[in-house]
Structure 1
Amino acid sequence: MKESRKEIKVATIKSNYIFNTLRTVLNLVVPLIVFPYTSRVLGPEGLGSVEFANSIVSYFVLFTALGIPTYGIREIARTRDSLYERSKTFWELTWILGITVIAGYICYFLIVFLVPVFKARILLFLIVCPTIFLSDFSYEWFYVGIEDQKYITQRYVFIKILQIVLVFLCIKKVEHFYRYAAITIGLNGVSTLFNIVRIRRYVSFIHFKELNIVHHIKPSLVIFASIVAVNVYTHLDVTMVGLISGDRAVGLYTAANKVVRIVIQLVTSLGIVMIPRIENCFKKGDMNGYRKGLWLSLRFVFLLGVPSLVGIELLAPEIIRIFAGEQYMEAVVSIRLLSPIVLIVGLAHFMGLQILYTNRKENIYAVAVTIAALVNGIFNYFMIHAYSYNGAVVGTLVAETTGLVIMSIVGRKYLADSHALGFDIFKYIIASAVMAGVLLLVKPFTGNYSVGASLTMNVALGVVVYFICLVLFRDKCIREVFKKK
């Protein structure tokens, strides 16, 4: 389609947010359908084995990507108005990925075949190994950079429906954890194929002689360093729990961690949509649009983060029963301890990627997350030995808070009139307190129903009460999301 190569029509924030929210909701609903089934059929040991293998391969995905999934969004957002420039950027980054993926596979197979703990699970590690190629060449960063949220959502819906069907058809007993891993890989392959085929609409071929690969190396390495640190303390907990406490502990920790991470996606959903828009405004010198975008994102983090934290604390037992099952009830304490990172990570995402990143302060961001990763590793080592998977929760909380504090010290100066946010935060706290009070009064009466019905009623009631309070408070964040072009 030649026309689509000439010009990219950027959708409104409202449209992009709706599509991104739909994906986020599906990312919440699908695990609620799939995870309870797989966790019961595979058990903590089977599920833990797959998660352990995934945590290892994720490190290789991280290193071979070289920061491009984040760096690429910024560069494509900058060059999206020019076919030649965006095509040139696309091919330059693709060549870098090709080189790193080849090197990554050499290292991966050496480690898998030579390290005893991995060699003992060789079949599982061979099944998950395509993840490296499929993740690095999915080109998700390109579609985010051009703000093609509609396509991303359409593809995502198809893949998730297929996932549900395949899991229920193919996973029948504990030994099927190999199938579970293979299904995930196969679906990633389908998704990547769709992306590669479609991308021809937006880029044209650029001869290698016209490319300048070298100038991407330094900025992508700075971003890569920060992403390494973030992913280390995102995945290090699972890896260390697996090595120190075993597969069952990984399964229990995963049950709590997955729920909280899904909620984090809701809290950061608008920020993800706003990153390319904010970057584009910054490049063009539209500081008014830039500041409005920042304030909208920050308010949204508090708008969803505060009630989400409260909701997890109140409904933790019901969430674990529905999401994982009775055999995972030991994870209730973990999910309650983890709940504050919903707000902490949301704020860190804002400070790091929307403030420091767009103001070319990648070095500060890298330092903050590197220190946080070191803190996480130290706390995990001592706390997991003492408290198993709950020790990893403490390490994660301390690390995330450390990173946020460092980023905020530098990033707050880029937020003019920050005192104006104080009243908005107060409104969200009051609305969440009212919601909590209503739920505490109603929850005993919903206990007579099934766990699923009880959780659904409590969540629905909490959402209604909270947003009624916001309407009464005349909250402007919701109005801005649906009015801003």
Structure 2
Amino acid sequence: MRRKSLGVNAFLNGIRSILNLIFPLITFPYVSRILSVEGIGIYDFSNVYVNYFVLIAGLGIATYGVREGAKYRDNIKEMEKFANQIFSINIVSTIVAYILLFLSLLIFKSLSNYFSCILIFSLQIGFTTLGTEWIYTIYEDYAYITIRSIIFKILSIILLFILVRTPNDYLIYASITVLAGVGSNILNFMHARSFINIRLTTQINWKYHLKPILVIFASSVAVTIYVSSDTTILGILKNDYAVGIYGTSVKIYQIAQTLLSAIITVTIPRLAFLWGQKRLSEYRNVLKKVINFLSIFILPAIVGLIMLGKEVILIIAGNKYLPSVSALRIISVALIFSIFASFLTGCVLLPIKRENLVLRNTLITAIENIVLNFILIPFMSYDGASLSTVLAELSVVLLNAYSCSDIIKPIILKKASLHGIFDSIIGCIGIVVMCLMCEYGIQSIFLKVVISVLLSIVMYSAILILLGNEIALTILDRIKNDMIKFIKLK
């Protein structure tokens, strides 16, 4: 099978990530002004609550499927045998997830205020399983799901502006969110048959699959706990208003996080394939490229969010969400730790089958985050939730780095990698200068953000080029070549 360009895959996955984030980016400024802060709080709490059961249904199968399935993708017969077993296990875990969800709604009477919203979000459980997106990841095919995302996101945005009109329409907003996120997954399942004939089977090698799946699942649970426990504990210790304020900063943080993670997602199957084939030199070369790319993109994103936090909140959410500015600035720092922790987990530890260490690290971090939330939230409210996230992400990246130091140490300590980090730090000084100039020279909030971003990009790029940054010069050469080709065509 012809190998697809990692650059093209990263671009397509980046578009898909942007589409997944454009929906809340376009819709949230609207709904935050239409719905009450309490309504947003109910929406956020219900979404987070259902995500625990989505996790149970997922059972770590997507990660395991990509890692193991990458070895079979050139052998259709073996791939079908493997995929059918994994899909069947996924169906069983989905049924278990629904049973546990409905039991929890019967047992915990305090959830009655969220009952309807939780039921709507629960549709995500079944549709995520049917989506079988791990098959598309194995075959490195992002074109179909990107096109599908465009269609459903546009449809959902149209429905939002038509149907969400009053402060009590948060249930309609939840329904549209589900439609935008997983509504088209039945089409994914049907289209997956263009790769393999996927179906249920009773011939499952439980002994072979279950242990690594459960280890990855346990790690995913721990990750979800330290990612989502802040919202859950904030809702318990404070109120829906605090959850709504914190949820605003988290949404913006997740936008940046998802965009920056696009390159990690598309390299996982390639790295798993290279490691499985014992092509270690190529494996290390891809790792080096990913580290260098991440090094020059993460820091400017953090600095930009810190410098323009107030303006971003005002544009996206409005005046009544201004208390979330400090939470956004605090949680922005977690980006660098979060992205590199995900990189070390998905691109190094899982492909080389050190999932036991991932489990250990995430369990430690999950416990730490829960303790920090109970300590910080009573005194700092949503700012405390943000700070606990930063500290938790710092811990997990340090633990992950230690767990694969034999693999990444020779790469990170190379002169080119250190040079890239230094270039990025110097470039960020230029971003601060540009943002401060716009802060005191431009009154319009929207214009201030646009000009600040444009000038920061120009300044940051110029500094990287002047410092001879390898990635920046490569991108510059590619732009020059594309322009020359375009001129010749005309």
What is the TM-score normalised by the length of structure 1?
A: 0.94
Over 3 Å counting, the alpha-carbon distance change for 1:123 and 1:303 in structure 2 is: same
**Residue 211 (structure 1) shift:** 4.2
Note the alpha carbon deviations across 1:52-111, whole angstroms, 9 max, x for none. Answer: 111111101111211112111112222111111221121111111111111221111111
Relative to structure 1, is the Cα distance of residues 480 and 349 closer, same or farther in structure 2, using a 3 angstrom cutoff?
A: farther
Distance 1:30 1:431 in 2: 31
The equivalent of 2:448 in structure 1 is 454
Correspondence for 1:227: 220
The aligned residue for residue 434 of structure 1 is 430
Residue 474 of structure 1 deviates from its aligned partner by 3.1
Larger deviation: 223-232 or 384-393? Answer: 384-393
Does the residue aligned with 1:175 lie in a helix, a strand or coil? coil
The match for 1:4 is: none
- Aligned residue for 2:488? none
SS at match of 1:148: coil
Structure 1 residue 399, shift from structure 2 partner: 1.0
Choose which of 226, 236, 239 in structure 2 pairs with 1:246: 239
- Map residues 122-141 of structure 1 onto 2, 5 A cutoff: 122-141=115-134
- Aligned with 2:82 (options 72, 89, 93): 89
Match of 1:422 among 410, 418, 425: 418
Task: State, as a whole percentage, how many aligned pairs show the same letter.
Answer: 30
Q: Distance in 2 between matches of 1:433 and 1:70?
A: 38
Contact 2:313 2:322 in 1 (8 A): yes
Q: Match for residue 358 of structure 1?
A: 351
Deviations 1:205-255 (A, max 9, x none): 578365424311011111111111001111111111111111111111011
Task: Structure 1: give runs of 5+ residues left out of the alignment.
Answer: 1-7
- Write the deviation string for residues 382-409 of structure 1: whole angstroms up to 9, x where unpaired: 2111211111112111111111111111
**Residue of structure 1 aligned with 2:55, choices 26, 43, 62:** 62
Q: How many residues align?
A: 474
From 306, 319, 324, the counterpart of 1:313: 306
1:333 equivalent in structure 2: 326
Q: Distance in 1 between matches of 2:471 and 2:64?
A: 28
Q: 1:134 touches 1:188 (CA, 8 Å); kept in 2?
A: no
Q: Secondary structure at the match of 2:305?
A: helix
Q: Distance in 2 between matches of 1:478 and 1:22?
A: 21
What is the alpha-carbon root mean square deviation over aligned residues? 1.8
Assess if the C-alpha contact under 8 Å between 1:93 and 1:213 holds in 2. Answer: no
Displacement after TM superposition at 1:418 (Å): 2.7
Distance 1:34 1:208, change over 3 A: closer
> Are the counterparts in 1 of residues 88 and 201 from structure 2 also a CA contact under 8 Å?
no
User: Does the 8 Å contact 1:84/1:204 carry over to 2?
Assistant: no
Give the Cα–Cα distance (whole angstroms) in 2 for the partners of residues 207 and 40 of structure 1. Answer: 46
CA pair 207-220 structure 1, distance change in 2 beyond 3 A: closer
**What residue ranges of structure 2 are gaps of 5+ in the alignment?**
479-490
CA 1:478–1:296 in 2, change beyond 3 Å: closer, same or farther?
A: farther
Residue 480 of structure 1 and its aligned partner are, at CA, apart by: 6.2
| Mean CA deviation greater in 158-167 or 467-476 | 467-476
Q: Equivalents in 2 of 1:107, 1:453: separation in Å?
A: 49
Query: Against the structure 1 CA distance between its residues 25 and 186, is the aligned structure 2 distance closer, same or farther, given a 3 Å change threshold?
Result: closer
Q: CA deviation at 1:477?
A: 2.7
Name the aligned partner's letter for residue 261 of structure 2: T
Determine the C-alpha separation between the residues in 1 that align with 2:115 and 2:83.
35
Query: Retained in 1: the 8 A contact 2:219–2:362?
Result: yes
Matching residue of 2:165: 172
Structure 1 residue 373: deviation in Å? Answer: 0.4
Does residue 41 of structure 1 match 2:27?
no
Q: How does 1:371-450 map to 2 (within 5 A)?
A: 371-415=364-408, 416-420=410-414, 421-447=417-443, 449=444
SS in 1 for 2:308: helix
**Map of 1:467 onto structure 2:** 461
| Larger deviation, residues 257-266 vs 182-191 | 182-191
Which amino acid in structure 1 is aligned with residue 461 of structure 2? Answer: F
Conserved 8 A contact 1:334-1:393:
yes
Is the 1:167–1:180 contact (alpha carbons within 8 Å) kept by the matching residues of 2? yes
**Is the contact made by 1:245 and 1:389 (CA closer than 8 Å) also made in structure 2?**
no
Structure 1 residue 47, shift from structure 2 partner? 1.0
Task: Evaluate the alpha carbon distance shift between residue 285 and residue 228 of structure 1 in structure 2; reply closer, same or farther with a 3 A threshold.
Answer: same
Relative to structure 2, which stretch is displaced further, 358-367 or 115-124? Answer: 115-124
- Contact 2:70/2:269 (CA < 8 Å) preserved in 1? yes
Structural mapping, 1:278-317, within 5 Å = 278-317=271-310
CA 1:478–1:154 in 2, change beyond 3 Å: closer, same or farther? farther
Equivalent residues of 2:94, 2:125 under 8 A apart: yes
User: Which residue identity lines up with residue 287 of structure 1 in the other structure?
Assistant: L
Deviations 1:351-404 (A, max 9, x none): 122121122111111111110000000010121112111111121111111111
SS of 2:101's equivalent in the other structure is helix
Judge conservation of contact 1:28–1:263 (CA < 8 Å) in 2. Answer: no
Taking the aligned partners of 2:171 and 2:295, their CA distance within structure 1 comes to: 40
| Offset at residue 417 of structure 1 (A) | 4.3
Which residue does the alignment assign to 2:187?
194
Q: Distance in 2 between matches of 1:264 and 1:341?
A: 9
**1:204 to partner: Cα distance:** 2.3
TM-score by length of 2: 0.93
The alpha carbon displacement at 1:343 in A equals 0.6
Is 1:153 aligned with 2:146? yes
Using the TM superposition, name which of 374-383 and 118-127 deviates more.
118-127
Instruction: State the Cα deviation string for residues 229-286 of structure 1 (Å, max 9, x = none).
Output: 0011111111111111111111110111111111112222211111111111111121
Q: Say whether residues 1:264 and 2:257 are aligned partners.
A: yes
Alignment check: 8 A CA contact 2:13 2:146 kept? yes
Contact 2:156–2:179 (Cα < 8 Å) also in 1? no
Contact 2:243 2:382 in 1 (8 A): yes
Distance 2:473 2:202 in 1: 49
CA deviation string 1:300-340 (max 9, x = no partner) = 22211111111111100001001111100000100111111
Native 8 Å contact 1:379 1:395 kept in 2: yes
Asked if 2 retains the 8 angstrom alpha-carbon contact of 1:88 and 1:211, the reply is no
Contact in 2 for aligned 1:73/1:141 (Cα 8 Å): yes
